[in-house]
Chains A and B, each alone.
Chain A
């Protein structure tokens, strides 16, 4: 049986089991089901970080943290808000329907996380730019063309 296990029966069976395991466990390191870009949508958004004047900061150059990663943290916060609204009202609003007030707390938490995750060497520059601002730009497809909204200031955070 052991020889068959490694030699004949096992290979495709183990392959199927490993694939099924990754699908079942989803995002539990080291397993993943690679969810990114698995559902294309005709609307999305991106974020960027601005200084006190609202001018963009080259945040990756400064902190090593990509805007995509910052967006993931902010997005998790929005999901938590949706879950809370669902708990209170029985139905969760779409992310795009969240109010500015509902976005503010996740935005502030994201900026706090950013400052906490930035290397010590980046803190003087972040303090000089303080209060940091998180901007969101909605992006949609309208009649075959990409349309971007004006940047929306979500939250600000004074760097201690």
Chain B
């Protein structure tokens, strides 16, 4: 019982170096910018299949003359401020609303694209943290007392990680729910979808190899238990992704595992989740930290050293 209690108590924000959070902010600002439509992309002037806030808000104003370029300029300035760590209680809600509006309009065209939800959810998580901290200070007239050794950046990172891993856990429940619990039993049918993905790839660009045998699909269908084992490992990885919240080493392991998982899916089915992979690399793997740690320039940061006294935000 005590071990379980200790295990459960291990899910919390941890100390983060200022430079480390600066690197993450800069990289995440880049991801947000890349995940916005380009100036040359068509901004839809209708929302025939409303999704999310489009049920209540007409987002087609974004397609008006000069509106999207203006929004892009605002987002660019906001991202510079975000990367610099300035005015976060104002900048993060602005970025969140902008990203959600634009991407909701894109997802209101009769098809749902699943590549950028994670970016918006991380913005939502960070917005919730900064507004909670700012709201507390406003209401109580003092800063919120944080865990010993932590700073607001610790919470921004922790809840960003939570937004990332929660989507992997969600997908596991969807598999169980939508397949009536038969996902594993039917998982070797992935062979059919491998062929379908290959045909989609071919018809997108008519590049060789043309329609023909797909060895990976043949292998999967010929060895259903092997494919169940392989796909089962992927699902287990998704389910246990929440362990990334237990500390840096867990986050590193989960992050590397999930990127490997995405690479396998990309190789097998030509389905890419570039932004998910970027967020895993930034918030879970955190190469700059481990590089600095390996070179011995980061003594103590990471939760292994005794935690200093409580700080406030």
| Chain A residues with a Cβ under 8 A of chain B | 2-3, 6-8, 11-12, 14-15, 18-19, 22-23, 27-46, 48-49, 56-61, 66-69, 71-73, 76, 113, 117, 119, 137, 139-141, 144-146, 148
Q: Are B199's CB and A46's CB within 8 A? A: yes
Q: Complex Cα distance A44/B194, Å?
A: 11
Q: Complex Cα distance A117/B153, Å?
A: 41
Q: Complex Cα distance A152/B155, Å?
A: 55
Q: Are A40's CB and B204's CB within 8 A? A: no
When each residue 155-175 of chain B gets 1 if its CB lies under 8 Å from chain A and 0 otherwise, what string results?
100110011011101110111
Closest to B112 in A: A27
Of B18-26, B184-192, B248-256, B288-296, the one with at least 4 CB within 8 A of chain A: B184-192
Q: Are A76's CB and B49's CB within 8 A? A: yes
| Chain B residues with a Cβ under 8 A of chain A | 8-9, 11-13, 40, 42, 44, 49, 51-53, 99-100, 103-104, 107, 109-114, 117, 120-121, 123-124, 132, 136, 140, 144-147, 155, 158-159, 162-163, 165-167, 169-171, 173-175, 177-179, 182-183, 186-193, 195-196, 199-200, 203-207, 214, 217-218, 221-222, 242, 245, 271
When the two chains form the complex, which single residue of B100, B111, B192, B203 contacts A140, counting CB atoms closer than 8 Å? B192
Q: Are A38's CB and B171's CB within 8 A? A: yes
Looking at A12, A29, A72, A117, the one whose CB has the most chain B CB atoms below 10 A away is A29
Q: Are A67's CB and B200's CB within 8 A? A: yes
Q: Are A11's CB and B196's CB within 8 A? A: no
Q: Complex Cα distance A16/B11, Å?
A: 12
6 further A-B contacts with Cβ under 8 Å, apart from A2-B136, A30-B99, A68-B200, are A11-B245, A23-B174, A46-B199, A46-B200, A76-B49, A141-B191
Chain A neighbourhood of B144, CB < 8 A: 2-3, 6
A96–chain B nearest beta-carbon distance, Å = 14
A12-B8, A58-B204 given as contacts; is B192 within 8 A of A44 (CB)? Answer: yes
Q: Are B166's CB and A15's CB within 8 A? A: yes
A42-B189, A141-B189 given as contacts; is B174 within 8 A of A33 (CB)? Answer: yes
Chain A neighbourhood of B121, CB < 8 A: 30-31
Q: Complex Cα distance A14/B128, Å?
A: 12
Q: Are B49's CB and A37's CB within 8 A? A: no
A132–chain B nearest beta-carbon distance, Å = 13
Q: Are A46's CB and B155's CB within 8 A? A: no
A7-B146, A40-B183, A146-B217 given as contacts; is B192 within 8 A of A139 (CB)? Answer: yes
Q: Complex Cα distance A36/B52, Å?
A: 18
Chain A neighbourhood of B163, CB < 8 A: 18
Chain B neighbourhood of A15, CB < 8 A: 11, 162, 165-166, 242, 245
A133–chain B nearest beta-carbon distance, Å = 13
Chain A neighbourhood of B242, CB < 8 A: 15
B129–chain A nearest beta-carbon distance, Å = 8
Q: Are A37's CB and B193's CB within 8 A? A: yes
Chain A neighbourhood of B196, CB < 8 A: 44-46, 139
A68–chain B nearest beta-carbon distance, Å = 5
A12-B8, A34-B114, A119-B42 given as contacts; is B174 within 8 A of A48 (CB)? Answer: no
Q: Are A35's CB and B111's CB within 8 A? A: no
Q: Complex Cα distance A14/B132, Å?
A: 14
Q: Are A38's CB and B175's CB within 8 A? A: yes
Q: Are B158's CB and A36's CB within 8 A? A: no
B8–chain A nearest beta-carbon distance, Å = 6
Chain A neighbourhood of B189, CB < 8 A: 40-42, 141
Chain A neighbourhood of B205, CB < 8 A: 58, 60-61
Closest to A47 in B: B203
Q: Complex Cα distance A3/B11, Å?
A: 15
Q: Are A66's CB and B204's CB within 8 A? A: yes
Chain B neighbourhood of A49, CB < 8 A: 203
Chain A neighbourhood of B179, CB < 8 A: 38-40
A127–chain B nearest beta-carbon distance, Å = 18
Q: Complex Cα distance A54/B114, Å?
A: 31
B185–chain A nearest beta-carbon distance, Å = 9
A23-B170, A40-B189, A146-B217 given as contacts; is B117 within 8 A of A32 (CB)? Answer: yes
Q: Complex Cα distance A31/B203, Å?
A: 31
Q: Give 10 CB contacts A-B under 8 Å.
A: A6-B132, A30-B100, A30-B120, A40-B188, A41-B186, A48-B199, A58-B203, A119-B40, A141-B221, A146-B192
